[in-house]
Amino acid sequence: MFLTKQEERVLAGEEGVGRQRAMELLVAVGKIYSAEKLIPIRSAHLSGVSYKTIGDGGLDFVSEMSRDAKVSVKTTLNPAGMDLDRWREMRVTDQFAEKQRAIIDAYGRLGVETNCTCTPYLAGNVPGPGENVAWAESSALSFVNSVLGARTNREGGPGALAAAIIGKTPLYGLHLSENRVPSVIIEADVEDEITDYSLLGHAVGQKIGQSIPFFKGIRPGVDGLKTMAAAMAAAGSVALFHAEGVTPGWEAFDLKGLERVAIGRKEIERAKESLTTGKDPDLIALGCPHLSETEVTNLASFLDGKKMRSDAPEVWFCTSRTVRTWCPKEVAVLERFGRVLCDTCMIVAPIEGIHSCTATNSAKACTYLPGLCSQKVVCDSSQRLLEAIL
C-alpha cells in the first residue's frame, strides 16, 4: 500500500506511540484488503464503549491510546453500559460504574465527543453524500451508507478509533463505487409501521446475509429506515441497502437479471414468532436504535392522559442526551411511565441478573437479548407493549 512521506513518519513512531499504533492497524487492514492507499475521512463513530462488552482489556487499550494521541476528525461514541447520571436507578453496581467512567474519560482525553448514542446522525454527526467516513456500530454505519449516501466500511471499534486518530482510512470495500451496487431485489409488502420495518429488516438479513439489497414497495421515513438498517445488520451483515424512491442515487442502478425475493405478511409474522421466546416481561425497553425526537413525541402523545397499572413492569425509553434535551415536555410525560435513559441501551447495559424477560419492538434488540443479556424476549409493536401497562 502506498504511504506518503508523512504517513511513513507516523508509522515510524515520530509522532508518538498512539499514532504509530493507529497507523500500524490501518496499514495492516489495508494490506489484507489490497488497498491502494489511505484516503481522508470526514468523521468517525466508535463502538466498544460499554464496560460490559469490552471489559478490562478494552479499558486498557483505550487508556493506552489516550496517553499521547488525539482524534483528528469529528468523532462520536456509541452507547455505554449505563446512563452516566442515572446509573444507580438502573441498579448498576459501583464497581461497574467506576470502570465505565474510566472508559468514557479515556475517550474524552482522546478528544472524542462523549454524547453516547447509536444515532449520532440525528445528533450532529451527519456525513454528506459521497463523503468518506469510518463508522463502527452496524446500525449507524448502514444508515449513513444507505440513507445519507456517505461511504464507510463495516468498521470495528479499534479500526474506527485508528482511523479517527489518523484522520484516514484504507481505500477498499464500500469506499469504492463498484462495490456499492445492489445484488438482490427485495419485493416487500409490509405495513408502514416501525415494528414491521424492523421485522422486514430481520427477515431480509437472515435471507441475504452480506448482500446489498434493493427494496421495492416500501416508503419508510427516517425511523423506519433506522430500525430496518439495525435489524438487517444484526440478522445478516448488511452494511448498505438501496430503496426505490427513498435512498440517494437509487435510479442509477441497472437491476436487470438480479435475483428477486418477496417478503410479506407471512415472513413478518414468522420473524416475530421466531424472536419471541418468553411472556410476562419484567422490562419493556424501547429505543433500539435510540429513539428519535419524532418517536419520543409519538410515544408521549400516545401515553399522555393515561394511567399506568400498579403492577406494570419497568419501562425504559432509550434515547440520546441531545433528543432528551430537545423535548422536555414529552420526556416529562414518558417519565410518568418509565425512565427516559441516555448514554445506554437494553443490550449494552448489564441487565442480566436484574431482569429476566424483556419486551421490545426492535428486531435487533430481540436478536441480541438472549445471548448478550440472558433474557427471554417478547417482540411486539410499541403500542401493544405500552397498552399492556395501562
Rounded Cα distance, 213 and 255, in Å: 11
Nearer to ligand F3S, 20 or 367 (CB): 367
Nine-digit cell string for 25? 492497524
Residue 298: enclosing H or E segment and its boundaries?
A: helix 293-303
The least CB distance from residue 93 to ligand F3S, in Å, is 20
Q: Residue 316 corresponds to which cell in the numbers above?
A: 425504559
Residues within window 283-312 making contact with ligand F3S, judged by CB under 6 A: 288-290
Q: Name the segment binding ligand F3S (CB under 6 A); options: 245-253, 257-265, 342-350, 374-382.
A: 342-350
The footprint of ligand F3S on residues 137-196 (CB under 6 A) is: 139
Burial of residue 101 (number of CB atoms within 10 Å: 0-12, 13-18, 19+): middle
Q: Which of 230, 243, 275, 296 binds ligand F3S (CB under 6 A)?
A: 230
Q: Are 26 and 4 in contact (CB under 8 A)?
A: no
Do residues 170 and 1 lie in contact, with contact meaning Cβ atoms separated by under 8 Å? yes
* Per-residue mark of binding to ligand F3S, 100-139 (x: CB under 6 A): ------------------x--------------------x
Specify whether the CB–CB gap between 268 and 203 falls below 8 A.
Answer: yes
Q: Which of 323, 345, 369, 386 binds ligand F3S (CB under 6 A)?
A: 345
x/- site string to ligand F3S, residues 59 to 88, per CB under 6 A? -------------------xx---------
| Interaction between residue 379 and ligand F3S (CB under 6 A) | no
Q: Does 48 bind ligand F3S (CB under 6 A)?
A: no
Binding ligand F3S by CB under 6 A: which of 23, 82, 204, 365? 365
CA distance 156 to 134: 9
Give the integer Cα–Cα distance in Å for 377 and 369: 7
Contact between 349 and ligand F3S by CB under 6 A: the answer reads no
Sign of the dihedral defined by the CA atoms of residues 250, 140, 368, 154, in that order: positive
Q: Which residues bind ligand F3S (CB under 6 A)?
A: 78-79, 118, 139, 230, 288-290, 318, 345, 347-348, 364-365
